[in-house]
Amino acid sequence: MNTMLETSELPAVFDGVKLAAVAAVLYVIVRCLNLKSPTAPPELMYQDSALARFLLKSCPLLTKEYIPPLIWGKSGHIQTALYGKMGRVRSPHPYGLRKYLTMPDGATATFDLFEPCSEHCTGEDVTMVICPGIANHSEKQYIRTFVDYAQKNGYRCAVLNHLGALPNIELTSPRMFTYGCTWEFGAMVNYIKKTYPQTQLVVVGFSLGGNIVCKYLGESQANQERVLCCVSLCQGYSALRAQETFMQWDHCRRFYNFLMADNMKKIILSHRQALFGDNMKKPQSLSDADLGKLYTATSLMQIDDNVMRKFHGYSSLKEYYEEESCLQYLHRIYVPLLLVNAADDPLVHESLLSIPRALAEKRENVMHVLPLHGGHLGFFEGSVLFPEPLTWMDKLVVQYANAICQWEKTKPHCSDSEQAVSGQE
């Protein structure tokens, strides 16, 4: 009798275990995909001014909910992984011309030039000068998608190819791109200004490119001539403050650090002969021993310390990060400046977001935009599972640029008080 009771209870026990296992799996999925997170309009930080009011009226994306794909779009890790692995879906192939510029030290800078596909909404000649993310170039899918969309909205686009990033372009000097070197970007901008004397510029920087463009504009007032506005996307603002967070395991930053370091190693080693060979004059502080340290490096900081800082003769990693970060230059930018980050960006620690917030609280020309979701340069949109080719980020940059162009065109008809965008420190 007892044996029969025990036998009949076993299936119930097994069913209970299965239900518990299913519940545990569902719980993990909900937590990992962040499914309980709400959707909301971006958090905005700005000073009340005529410009800010105009932007809020002219850019619906600033006040509208950003709704990511339902199943996975609220996970910053998945957004970041999709951007990193495939860039964008169904990416177009805009046609451009590659330009080559010889730098004073013998390096060969390259950028791709794309003409507009239609007239701009203001009827003006406007060029977007674009700086991609770390080790990226004009052939990356997220860049191609953005350029195609900008072209269709009447913008000429010039896209910098980071020195050493293109696999088919050899280095012609013992130097490659660094975290904050603005030489190649400046050469591209000067070429555009000289070749198109009537054009006005919209400056756009993605991730590391955001640091470079902000640093470039703040280095000299002359660099801001003919610049309508600047947009920085998903940058960290201070490499010195970011380096400690990049060695932490929360939000898997240490893992991302390893993956990015591995990619940088491959790029540097692909130019090993130009950088470490005897046929060219190497930086005095760069030795063959640094090549051995490069092989064993597992973080960007190790690569920066052993190789990257030495291209420009910095005596320490601290000096390199301080001098190459845009942090000390942001307050010198007087054109309208849009700083965009995502609250769930696994690469940019939340402590770094105090930098753009503090800047936007003090300066009328600055607006900081912080959506809840988007990851690092993801910002995909879509209904349930499959993302759309265009992202929220692509649309926002063009919408903001259009609004600034309209603002500049209508300013002469406004009162003096409405025209003022504070340039005071």
β strands within 358-414, DSSP E? 366-370
Average pLDDT (228-253) is 94
Distance CA 130, CA 203 (A): 6
Say which of 49, 207, 232, 238 is annotated catalytic: 207
212 pLDDT above the threshold of 50: yes
pLDDT digits (tens, 9 = 90+) for 163-183: 999 999 999 999 999 999 999
Say which of 344, 345, 349, 368 is annotated catalytic: 345
* DSSP states of 289-345: HHHHHHHH--SHHHHHHHTGGGGGT-SSHHHHHHHHSSTTTGGG--S-EEEE--TT-
Q: What's the pLDDT at 19?
A: 52
Say which of 173, 271, 376, 394 is annotated catalytic: 376
Q: How many residues does the chain have?
A: 425
pLDDT digits (tens, 9 = 90+) for 98-155: 999 999 999 999 999 999 999 999 999 999 999 999 999 999 999 999 999 999 999 9
pLDDT digits (tens, 9 = 90+) for 390-419: 999 999 999 999 999 999 988 754 443 344
Q: Is 93 a catalytic residue?
A: no
First-to-last C-alpha distance (Å) of the chain: 89
Q: Are 424 and 85 in contact (CB under 8 A)?
A: no
Residues contacting 176, CB < 8 A, separation 6+ = 162, 163, 164, 267, 268, 271, 275, 311
Mean pLDDT of the chain: 89
Q: What's the pLDDT at 259?
A: 94
* DSSP states of 95-115: --EEEEEE-TTS-EEEEEEE-
Name the residue with higher pLDDT: 264 or 6: 264
Q: What's the pLDDT at 70?
A: 86
pTM metric for this prediction: 0.90
> Per-residue confidence at 279, pLDDT binned at 50, 70, 90?
low
Cα–Cα distances (Å) from 214 to 109, 207, 232, in that order, read 19, 11, 8
Q: Is 312 a catalytic residue?
A: no
Residues contacting 165, CB < 8 A, separation 6+ = 135, 136, 137, 177, 267
Beta bridge partners of 194: none
Nearest to 230, CA basis, from 151, 352, 128, 132: 128
Residue the block writes with tokens 């265009």:
390
Q: Is 207 a catalytic residue?
A: yes
Q: What's the pLDDT at 423?
A: 44
